[in-house]
Chains A and B, each alone.
Chain A
Amino acid sequence: GAVVSQHPSRVICKSGTSVKIECRSLDFQATTMFWYRQFPKKSLMLMATSNEGSKATYEQGVEKDKFLINHASLTLSTLTVTSAHPEDSSFYICSARDYRGPEQYFGPGTRLTVT
Chain B
Amino acid sequence: QKEVEQNSGPLSVPEGAIASLNCTYSDRGSQSFFWYRQYSGKSPELIMFIYSNGDKEDGRFTAQLNKASQYVSLLIRDSQPSDSATYLCAVNLNPGGGADGLTFGKGTHLIIQP
Binds B, one of A13-21, A41-49, A71-79, A80-88: A41-49
Taking CB as reference atom, which chain A residue is nearest B101? Answer: A46
Whether A97 is near chain B, meaning CB under 8 Å from some CB there, is yes
Interface 1/0 per residue, A7-40 and B, CB below 8 Å: 0000000000000000000000001101010000
Whether A89 is near chain B, meaning CB under 8 Å from some CB there, is no
- Find the residue from A34, A44, A107, A108 having the highest chain B CB count within 10 A: A44
Whether B103 is near chain A, meaning CB under 8 Å from some CB there, is yes
Whether A103 is near chain B, meaning CB under 8 Å from some CB there, is yes
| Chain B: interface residue total (CB-CB under 8 A) | 25
Q: Is the CB of B105 within 8 A of A102?
A: no
Q: Give the chain B neighbours of A93 by CB distance below 8 A.
A: 43-44
- Label chain B's interface by main secondary structure: loop
- Beta-carbon contacts under 8 Å, B53-97 to A: 88, 92, 94-97
Say which residue of A36, A42, A46, A103 sits within 8 Å of B106 (CB atoms).
Answer: A42
Whether B24 is near chain A, meaning CB under 8 Å from some CB there, is no
Q: Is the CB of B49 within 8 A of A102?
A: yes
How many A-B pairs have beta carbons closer than 8 Å: the answer is 59
- A101–B41 Cα distance when bound, in Å, is 27
| Contacts A43-B104, A43-B105; A102 near B92 (Cβ below 8 A) | yes
Size category, A interface: 20 to 34
Q: Give the chain A neighbours of B107 by CB distance below 8 A.
A: 43
CB distance from A30 to the nearest CB of B (A): 11
Q: Give the chain B neighbours of A42 by CB distance below 8 A.
A: 106
Whether A104 is near chain B, meaning CB under 8 Å from some CB there, is yes
Whether B100 is near chain A, meaning CB under 8 Å from some CB there, is yes
Taking CB as reference atom, which chain A residue is nearest B109? Answer: A41
Q: Is the CB of B103 within 8 A of A103?
A: no
CB distance from A59 to the nearest CB of B (A): 8
Q: Give the chain A neighbours of B46 by CB distance below 8 A.
A: 103-106
A→B interface (CB under 8 Å): 31-32, 34, 36, 42-46, 49, 59, 93, 95, 97, 101-109
For the complex of A and B, list the 8 residue pairs with the smallest distance between their C-beta atoms, beginning with the closest: A102-B97, A46-B101, A109-B43, A106-B43, A43-B106, A34-B101, A44-B104, A43-B104
